[in-house]
Amino acid sequence: MTAALGLGAMIGVLLGLLGGGGSILALPALVYGAGLPPASAVPASLLVVGVSSATAVLPRIRAGQVRWRIAAVFGGAGALAAFGGAAINRMLPPQAILIGFAALMAVAGRRMLAGDAPAGGACALPGGGVNWRSCLPRSVAAGAAVGALTGLFGVGGGFLIIPALVLALGLPMTAAVGTSLLIVVVNSAAGFVAHADGAGLDYTVIGAFTTAAVAGSLAAARLGRHLDAERLRRWFAYLVLVVAALVLARGVLDLVAPVGWA
């Protein structure tokens, strides 16, 4: 239980500071830290991330940092695709899911270290708005891709949503973070519904993890004003790469000498 509280707080802090990213550590934290089997850890991760993101997005809504129409299109496409990702998840062995998740973590960590490319593209307008005629197909495609990964791996997808909003749609970073959190809430809710039936959830562990994550996200809202966001992102990327290597090693070992996941 102590491990669940500590890891949950860390996930919440990352979500509150970065608008995403904490979710990519939630699954390995629940599997290796809290001792849940992957079949239960995936929906548990989605529940934790969804509730934490809902808490973190509230002050950004009050600050006018959420683009509601983009969130509706992106999140709607993602919510539908999450059910497809969940269906694929049920057909794969736990070891394959963890190995695929490690690969996704490695790509995300590398992307974070590369930094942001200049925002713009066909969607951005000179005044800072969005050209919806160009952006609608792109928003639907990007939302569906992130939603499928949400259902498959149990991640909210903020680490993928923010680059899509900034680079493809041309949103400023502040609006991208707030909009990303709202989309994560929608995707996580859809993924949880797709996975929850028959998952055998341990609500005691999930409740402790979620409570700590919510507290962490609230604390992060105050800390964020005093931290170097760029340095934080770099160190988080290094952490993601280290965890990816550990998850990959564990997944490969389990393929060689399978463990009895419950």
Q: Any idea what DSSP says for residue 130?
A: B
Token reading at 148: 């499928």
Q: How many CA atoms lie less than 13 Å away from 92 in the CB half-sphere? A: 19
Query: Which residue is associated with the tokens 């593209």?
Result: 121
Write down the domain spans for the chain: 2-256
- Sequence-ordered list of residues with C-beta below 8 angstroms from that of 208, at least 6 positions apart, any chain: 1, 4, 5, 8
- Please write the tens of the pLDDT for every residue from 5-39: 777 787 777 766 665 666 677 777 888 777 788 77
pLDDT, tens only, 93-138: 877 887 888 887 788 778 767 765 444 555 656 665 666 666 788 7
pLDDT digits (tens, 9 = 90+) for 122-132: 565 666 566 66
With the CA atoms of 91, 75, 11 and 33 taken in that order, what torsion angle do they form, in degrees rounded to the nearest 10?
-10
What are the tens digits of pLDDT across the range 198-216? 667 778 888 888 888 888 8
